[in-house]
Copies of this chain bind each other. A is one copy, B any other.
Amino acid sequence: MKRNTWQREAVREALGSNEGFVSAQSLHSTLRDTGSPIGLATVYRALADLAVEGEADSLQSLEGESLYRACTQGQHHHHLICRNCGLTVEIEADAVELWAQSVASEHGFTQANHVVDVFGLCAECTVQTRLAR
């Protein structure tokens, strides 16, 4: 049976108070910085659970790290993510869903999953980057 612990709650909350996607590692250090003695393994476990339960969204960064974010929509959706600050916009794309399914079945593939995410620089980071040069 599943139990409620302050650790899980802490992870849920830390995730919720974050704008964009974060890695398990950085979430862990954020928690430690705020005085929580939570363990790294626990953060990984909590995030994995949240992802399974649909309370969190996960994706792989371009570098291959797993990133998590509190999920605001129940349904399947995709993301527009800022490479620089992690800001994320959830996007729906029925057209893309249909496209993925049809491409798969056209080639005889079944049980199709798809990974569709757009990475870029958000408006703010675009400005900052320009100024930096």
Which residues does A use to contact B, with CB under 8 Å?
Answer: 60, 62, 64-66, 80, 82-83, 89, 91, 93, 95-96, 99-100, 103-104, 107-123, 126
Contacts and interface: CB of A to CB of B under 8 A. Distances in A.
Given A109-B121, A115-B119, 13 more contacts: A62-B115, A64-B66, A80-B104, A82-B109, A96-B99, A96-B116, A109-B118, A109-B120, A110-B121, A111-B121, A111-B126, A114-B117, A116-B116
B120 A104 contact: yes
Nearest to A104: B120
Contact of A116 (B66, B82, B115): B115
A119 B104 CA distance: 8
A104 to B, nearest CB: 5
**Which residue among A89, A113, A115, A122 has the maximum number of chain B CB atoms within 10 Å of its CB?**
A115
Contacts of A122: 107-109
A113 B109 contact: no
A107 to B, nearest CB: 5
Contact of A113 (B95, B110, B120): B120
A26 B113 CA distance: 24
